[in-house]
Structure 1
Amino acid sequence: MHGLYTPNHHSEAAVHMSTLLGDPRIRRGGIKSYQSTNAEGVERSRMHLWVSSPGRTVMELAPFASLDELVVLVDQLVREPRPNLDRRFDPFVPLPKWKVMVESFHGRGVRKLREATGLARVGSDSPPETRLRLAIMRWGLPEPDLQIELPIRGLGNPSADLGYKRLLIAVHYDGGTHRSREQQQRDNRRDNAFSGEGWRNLHCNSKDLADGFRETCTRLERMIHEQRQRLRLN
């Protein structure tokens, strides 16, 4: 309902609904009923239903999601939307406000939620980008910069999903939308713009995602070493 990418490996088809503690439980087929001690973080949806806010939804998913799934969810909460794509101008929850919310949360999964919040960053535009960043960090490589823009007159601002500004490395995750001819043409112009400024481009896709980005991290590690040698950086 909020447009969040939620974990899709849960096969249960029941709708999860809550009532306030003291009110009757909902007993009906296809509904899994809970009782809550407060109504904080509940809002009315466009369909005129009372639903958990995006922030509360992520908190309620904490017991059921893995750590990486929670990082994906928190990244979505705090990311800066793109008005031409998202139909909104502000994050669901700004990161500083989210951290305060998590500190005051004491429900199930709180430790995992706090760990996920510590790993969350503003700038991951999709779940694969989050998982790529986590894989890079767990490989022992430096934490990458996110949403790197390359201001070039006449070309707008070509951008890379992540990479290293100091090392002139741009990393791109090519999702399903990159298969169209028009998008491939835009990608080629972007890559040429980065190459023209002395950057190196590294691409990965859904096959790399399924592999846990191991080959990507191996290639990136070699590229970092080569760029440090070329640029004579420590």
Structure 2
Amino acid sequence: MHKRADLPSTLASSPFTYDSAVTAGVSAKRLRKDDVVHVSRRLYRPSTWSFELEGAARVLSEVSPGAWVSHVTAARLHGQLLPAWLSDSTELHMSKPKHLPQVRRKGVVAHKVIASADEIETVDGIRISTRSRTWLDLARRLSLAELVCLGDQIIRIPRAEFEARSQPFDTLEGLSALVSRHPNLQGVVRAREALELMRVGADSAPESMLRLAMLDANLPDPDLQIALRPNDAASPTADLGYRHRRLAVQYDGGHHLLEAQRLSDRRRDKAFESAGWTVLVFTKDDATDGFQRAVAAIKRHLHTAWIDQSYSAGFAGSG
């Protein structure tokens, strides 16, 4: 009895195409053994493989000429911030230009779209919609607030100490131009509305949600990333707030529970307080009611907060 030959290492850990198998010297007969699963037309996977989104997307991209990974699948591969109900989605979305036949594979959500060449990129060998195009594609599916959060992350200025980039993924102007190119796309109206609400400066989705809750309560649009000392690069900053009222608002997420970060946060807040500012700190617990209690606290403090005399005299602010 002949021992079954192991799959080549290039095929043993992820899905693969029939062409890849032939190139690796694997026969059609070998592909019918019980350690290989026939996924769909010219697609296979090792029987021991556990689903992993990138591996599935990679092989679908490879076997679908003219197509690219899009929508929720693209957002997840890009690491974009999705709402909780989509954050672990295993959906597989593939798009093709309208002039080509759509992708037809079981379990794949196929789209036929109009897209410019600069709306698609190749990342680690996978053809995929850009973050900006992905944001636009999701406009029909996400709520307005969720779309604003996703957009805020695209236009935010990265922090050099945490990220290996210095420029945002896109700008408000760039996203606006993208939306203008697709006036008939489903969701474009919501995308336009989101553009009006997006701001540069939100470092996380909860910060965006807090700001939107403040706007819904008819509070003034807050300043974002407020430096205590504007001309000092080392100045502590507040996530949002009102400089002319010396009111700083901080959203401290999960990483702020670490002891070193807590000490840093306390030094930050002390610096603002020593300069005469009121500091309000909110956490994920405040998000459970849509930041309603947080907004009420901000509103109370705004009524009693110090006001810059240049504002009260009409020489600063929008009037």
Q: Which moved more, 1:30-39 or 1:52-61?
A: 30-39
Moved over 6 A (4+): 152-155, 229-233
- Would the aligned equivalents of 1:167 and 1:231 in 2 still touch at CA under 8 Å? no
Q: 2:180 aligns with which of 103, 116, 119?
A: 103
Residues 123 and 221 (structure 1 numbering): CA distance in 2 closer, same or farther, change over 3 Å?
Answer: same
**Structure number, greater radius of gyration:** 2
Q: 1:191 aligns with which of 250, 269, 293?
A: 269
Compute the TM-score of the two structures, normalised by the length of structure 2: 0.68
Partner in structure 1 of residue 282 of structure 2: 204
Offset, 1:7: 2.7
Residues 16 and 152 (structure 1 numbering): CA distance in 2 closer, same or farther, change over 3 Å?
Answer: closer
Equivalent residue runs for 1:22-41 within 5 Å: 22-40=99-117, 41=119
SS, match of residue 163 in structure 1: strand
- 1:171-208 CA distance string (max 9 Å, x none): 00010011011011001101110011000100111111
Q: 2:295 aligns with which of 192, 208, 217?
A: 217
Q: Which moved more, 1:115-124 or 1:221-230?
A: 221-230
- CA RMSD for the aligned pairs? 2.3
Structure of higher RCO (CA pairs closer than 8 Å, 6+ residues apart): 1
Gaps of 5+ in 2: 1-76, 313-319
Offset, 1:153: 11
- Would the aligned equivalents of 1:68 and 1:131 in 2 still touch at CA under 8 Å? yes
- 1:34-76 CA distance string (max 9 Å, x none): 112334300111x211100111000110111000011001111
Gaps of 5+ in 1: none
1:51 matched to 2:123:
no
- Kindly, what percent of the aligned residue pairs are identical? 37
Distance in 1 (CA, whole Å) between partners of 2:231 and 2:199 is: 29
- Would the aligned equivalents of 2:244 and 2:308 in 1 still touch at CA under 8 Å? no
SS, match of residue 201 in structure 1: strand
Compute the TM-score of the two structures, normalised by the length of structure 1: 0.92
SS, match of residue 17 in structure 1: strand
Partner in structure 2 of residue 4 of structure 1: 80
1:212 maps to a residue whose letter is: G
Offset, 1:9: 1.2
Distance in 2 (CA, whole Å) between partners of 1:190 and 1:97 is: 34
- Would the aligned equivalents of 2:244 and 2:307 in 1 still touch at CA under 8 Å? no
Partner in structure 2 of residue 150 of structure 1: 228
Equivalent residue runs for 1:107-122 within 5 Å: 107-122=185-200
Residues 101 and 200 (structure 1 numbering): CA distance in 2 closer, same or farther, change over 3 Å?
Answer: same
Partner in structure 1 of residue 149 of structure 2: 72
Distance in 2 (CA, whole Å) between partners of 1:17 and 1:153 is: 47
2:151 maps to a residue whose letter is: V
Q: How many residues align?
A: 233
Residues 71 and 155 (structure 1 numbering): CA distance in 2 closer, same or farther, change over 3 Å?
Answer: closer
- Would the aligned equivalents of 1:170 and 1:201 in 2 still touch at CA under 8 Å? yes
- Would the aligned equivalents of 2:182 and 2:188 in 1 still touch at CA under 8 Å? yes
